[in-house]
Amino acid sequence: MLFAVDIGNTNIVCAVFDNDSLTAQWRIASDTRRTGDEYTSIVLSMMRDSSIDLGSMDKAIVSSVVPDLIGAFVTVAQRVCRTKPYVMTSALSLSKKLPVSLPEGSTHELGTDLLCNAVAAWQKFKCANIVVDFGTALTLTITDSKGIIQGVDIAPGLRTAIYALASNTAQLPIVPLEAPPSTLGSTTKEAMQAGVVLGYKGLVEYLIKQVKIDLQNKTGDKIEDIRVIATGGLNSVLKPLTDCFEYVDKELTLKGLKAISDFVQ
Q: Which positions are annotated as active-site residues?
A: 113
Strand bridging mode 59-64 / 2-7? parallel
Strand bridging mode 21-29 / 86-87? unpaired
Q: Which ranges constitute the DSSP H helices of 7-111?
A: 36-49, 70-81
**Structural contact between residues 198 and 190, judged by C-beta atoms closer than 8 angstroms:** no
Q: How far is CA 182 from CA 62, 105, 178, 194, 248, in A?
A: 42, 48, 11, 7, 25
**Structural contact between residues 15 and 252, judged by C-beta atoms closer than 8 angstroms:** no
The residue type of 51 is S
